[in-house]
Structure 1
Amino acid sequence: MPAHNFPELAAFVAIARRRSFRRAAVELGVSPSAVSHSLRQLEDRLSLKLVNRTTRSVALTEAGQRLFESLGPAFDGIDAAIEDLNQFRDAPRGTLRINAPRQAMRLAVGEVIADFVRLHPGMRIEVAGSDQLDDVVAAGFDAGVRHGELIAEDMIATPIGPWLGYAAYAAPGYLAENPPPLHPADLKGHSCVAYRFPSGKPFLWRFRRDGAPIEVEPAATLTFDDMDLVLDATLAGAGVGYMFEAQGRAHVAAGRLVEILPDWRTGPIRFFLYYPGRANLSFGMRAFIDFVKRRSRAIDEPASPPQAVLNA
């Protein structure tokens, strides 16, 4: 195939990497229609269907997968060679894609990335707000953000954002009809508003006072996969909710919520940025990691260490 078809091959590789025409277009700096046109031209030249596209998904055909497996390493080598030239730039440039839970964006990540792009105007950051524990590499992300330090062995993790704590709350109206619990075991007699991970695992409530932590799987009257919905239902008086202290603080001050079991709080936790532990990270990604590390070192860390694992 003549060399002038390189843009068509580049479009195909971007689609195969990202499993999205829109994200491939962002990677290449062109319009989605241009990416689609390049793919059609390549398929016409080869007389083969390479990509199956529906309104919900993009998948490679068997021929497309074979072509991608052959071309992917070559394009990775080209990307690495071009990326190596970035060391001669005065500032990083390019696009980073990060997968982060919605609450992480609000409480830990949003301010960090805003300050980073302000410092490096040549950088762009795309954030997918999702609580789903994705394989960030397979999903086409440069990095992910999650609770705790239990990250896949082939990943590197570094703390991002401030220390955060969890607490249990209830609305005054609910407590008027239900005496507040005095011990975490008393929660069995209460209606609870719970969070569940997208994987289906329940989010256990952790408490500690003068000893080992106590884990409680609440008898949930309502269960959500979104912490903001947990807050809304708790404010509405549906029961006791367990959430980030930063979510409940203003509502306690305004009298809309009351903290439950305040003497049983666990130690603070942090979100972690995790990314592939490989040497060929982009110049922009390395700059972002260094920026995150500097921010983390500047935070006054409490005496108690972070919980190594939350039940994700």
Structure 2
Amino acid sequence: MDLPQAGALRLTLPDARVHDALAPALAAFAERHPDVRVQLGRAGGNAGGASGPCDLSIGLEPPADPARVAHRLGALRTCLYAAPGYLAGRPPPEHPIELAMHDCIGLHVDPQRGDAPRPVGWRLWRGSERVVVMVRERYGVDTPAMAMQLAARGVGIAALHAAGTAARHGAGLVPVLPEWEMKPVTLYALSGLPRLPARARALVDWLARALA
């Protein structure tokens, strides 16, 4: 395998869910490859002004443009967490259907959805089982960091990505319905090149291992 070449690598990310989920892996990659400068930006925004053939973007689905090449990274898994103090005040749910009786913290990366007062369907998976629960979202937020802070303060049950274990432990959160998870989102690294340069290939491989 080629060693990563020194230089800049521009990476665009779609939304806050992906930022939080990939941050630990990106920090570890930077430590492992100090000569590669990863410049981050959001989709549709600025990623530091770098140019060249090593640019990558992270997408939530394969590209519709046949000129873009998709490298599957893995699934972004989301599980449920709450503060022990919240769970001490009412019986913890033993089945997803019981979430309808709890205060929940919804994550909406589309701000137009976050302020809807109507019940919201949470889709949970356990093996081949699929359950849709209409939950009462006491709070609707647009970043995982805010959802985690609110959950840590005991206001409800939050759906948080499965990465970032250290941060959740630091916030004092515990799993809720640990055998269940939300419908996963598949991430792809998208490029306009049929063959990635060494430093881009190294980052794709690193992120794929982190999401395995």
TM-score for the superposition, normalised by structure 1: 0.50
Q: Secondary structure at the match of 1:238?
A: coil
How many residue pairs match? The answer is 195
Q: Secondary structure at the match of 1:230?
A: helix
Q: Verify: 1:127 aligned to 2:40, yes or no.
A: yes
Deviations, residues 183-220 of structure 1 (Å, cap 9, x unaligned)? 21221221111111146457974422352433446431
Is the contact made by 2:9 and 2:200 (CA closer than 8 Å) also made in structure 1?
Answer: no
Specify which of 249, 263, 266 is matched with residue 179 of structure 2.
Answer: 263
Deviations, residues 1-40 of structure 1 (Å, cap 9, x unaligned)? xxxxxxxxxxxxxxxxxxxxxxxxxxxxxxxxxxxxxxxx
Is the contact made by 2:82 and 2:174 (CA closer than 8 Å) also made in structure 1?
Answer: yes
Q: Verify: 1:188 aligned to 2:103, yes or no.
A: no
Please list every run of 5 or more consecutive structure 2 residues that lacks an aligned counterpart in the other structure. Answer: 115-119
Distance 1:135 1:256, change over 3 A: closer
Q: Verify: 1:97 aligned to 2:46, yes or no.
A: no
RMSD value, Cα: 3.9
Q: Secondary structure at the match of 1:174?
A: helix
Report the identity percentage.
22
Deviations, residues 90-122 of structure 1 (Å, cap 9, x unaligned)? 984543221224213423333234434x2xx3x
Paired with 2:163 and 2:205, the residues of 1 have a C-alpha distance of 23
Higher strand proportion (structure 1 or 2): 2
1:157-306 map, 5 Å: 157-160=70-73, 165-198=77-110, 200=112, 205-216=122-133, 218-248=135-165, 251=168, 256-265=172-181, 271-276=187-192, 278=193, 286-295=197-206, 299=209
TM-score for the superposition, normalised by structure 2: 0.70
Is the contact made by 2:6 and 2:199 (CA closer than 8 Å) also made in structure 1?
Answer: no
| Matched AA of 1:106 | A
Is the contact made by 1:104 and 1:145 (CA closer than 8 Å) also made in structure 2?
Answer: no
Is the contact made by 2:56 and 2:200 (CA closer than 8 Å) also made in structure 1?
Answer: no
Deviates more, 1:184-193 or 1:229-238: 184-193
Deviation of 1:159 after TM superposition, in Å, equals: 4.0
Is the contact made by 1:170 and 1:258 (CA closer than 8 Å) also made in structure 2?
Answer: yes
Deviates more, 1:196-205 or 1:173-182: 196-205
1:109-148 map, 5 Å: 109-116=26-33, 118=34, 121=35, 123-128=36-41, 130=42, 133-134=43-44, 142-147=55-60
Deviation of 1:232 after TM superposition, in Å, equals: 0.5
Higher helix proportion (structure 1 or 2): 1
Paired with 1:143 and 1:238, the residues of 2 have a C-alpha distance of 38
Paired with 1:291 and 1:241, the residues of 2 have a C-alpha distance of 33
Please list every run of 5 or more consecutive structure 1 residues that lacks an aligned counterpart in the other structure. Answer: 1-89, 303-312
1:41-56 map, 5 Å: none
Distance 1:156 1:176, change over 3 A: same
